[in-house]
Each structure stands twice: as C-alpha cells, then as structure tokens.
Structure 1
Amino acid sequence: MTYEDFSHFAGTWGLVFLFVLFIGAIAYAFWPSNKKKFEKASRLPLNDEEPLNDEENGEEKK
C-alpha cells in the first residue's frame, strides 16, 4: 500500500467515520428520553442556594 493509497483510504473512510459520529451526536442530543437530563443541566448555573463568601471566591480576609 503506497502513501497515496493510504491517503485516499483515510480521507474517504475518515469522512464516513466523522459523518456517522456527527449523526450519532445529533441523535443523542435530540433523543426524547434525554430531554429531562438536558433541561436539568441547563438550570444548574441558576440553582445556587446561596452566594459564595469572599473566602470561597479566593479573596483574603481583611
């Protein structure tokens, strides 16, 4: 197998592999059973019970 043959093989099958991977990621993102999980994850940044104090933010006590 020459470099040109390998390059053509890798280019063709690499494209097919990445396309299948992309379709799998899209299917996972839009799969109905994952909706609750993604909705819960989307609210995580807003679920702070209480703000961090200065020490937890890395600031020194005065």
Structure 2
Amino acid sequence: MTLESLHEFLASFWTVWAVIIFLLIVYWALRPRNRKRFEKDARIPLDDDR
C-alpha cells in the first residue's frame, strides 16, 4: 500500500464518517422529545430574571 492510496482511503473514510456524524446530530436535534428543551433554551435571551 502506497502513501497515496492510504491517503485516498482515509480521505473517503473521513468523508463518510463526517456525514454519519452530521446525520446523527440532525436526528438528535429534530427528535420530538427535545422540542420542549429547545423551546425553553430559545427563550433564555428573552427572560428577564435580573
């Protein structure tokens, strides 16, 4: 295995890995169970607790 072929393999591997991680994050963010938490977190800048 040459260095060039190893580089090509690792480049394609990291591209696939990055896409998988991205899709998992999108799945986590769009789950209905997280809706209330995100709505509460979105109100943080608007809350006037001081």
Compute the TM-score of the two structures, normalised by the length of structure 2. 0.88
Structure (1/2) with the larger helix percentage: 2
**Unaligned 5+ runs, structure 2:** none
Shift of 1:47: 0.7
Q: Which position in structure 2 is the counterpart of 1:41? A: 41
How many residue pairs get matched?
Answer: 50
- Per-residue CA deviations over 1:34-55 (Å, capped at 9, x if unaligned) read 00110000000111223xxxxx
Shift of 1:2: 2.1
* RMSD of equivalent CA atoms: 1.0
1:14-29 matched pairs, under 5 angstroms: 14-29=14-29
Percent identity among equivalent residues? 34
**Unaligned 5+ runs, structure 1:** 51-62
Structure number with the bigger relative contact order (C-alpha 8 A, sep ≥ 6) is: 2
